[in-house]
Amino acid sequence: MAGKIYKNQTALRIRMKCGVEVTGASALIKYAKPPDKTDLIGVVSRVTGSWEAYVGTGHGLIYYDVQNESDLDVSGRWKFWPFIMFPGGTRAPGSVHYETVHEEGE
């Protein structure tokens, strides 16, 4: 991802480099939104989720085209990581990438 990302932005493609060949696999881009609160014992609460990713061929790349304003609905520091599901049932999470989602006008 390059350039600034803004809350509720929809003209955006989220790309993740997996470091392995992913042709024939299915993939998710998983995320953790910025912490929304800390509970009484200091545990940070994060909303997590995933988007179904398009798998590129031959380059170890996956991507997701942001569809709705609700996809990036919170400003702050997000965590993104690829999750690959290979034929035969093996699965592999990738490395975390941090990205800041800004409020419009920042």
Position 2 pLDDT exceeds 60: no
pLDDT in tens, 10-42: 999 999 998 888 888 999 999 999 987 665 566
**Percent of the residues in the chain that have a pLDDT greater than 70, as a whole number:** 90
Cβ contact 53:16 at 8 Å: yes
Question: Can you say whether the dihedral through the CA atoms of 5, 101, 84, 64 is positive or negative?
Answer: negative
Task: Domain ranges for the chain, please list them.
Answer: 5-102
Q: How confident is residue 1, by pLDDT bands cut at 50, 70 and 90?
A: low
pLDDT of 45 reads 67
Structure confidence at residue 59 as a pLDDT band (50, 70, 90): confident
CA-to-CA distance for 24 and 4, rounded, in angstroms?
32
CATH class of the domain whose range is 5-102: mainly beta
Q: Which pLDDT band holds residue 70 (cuts at 50, 70, 90)?
A: very high
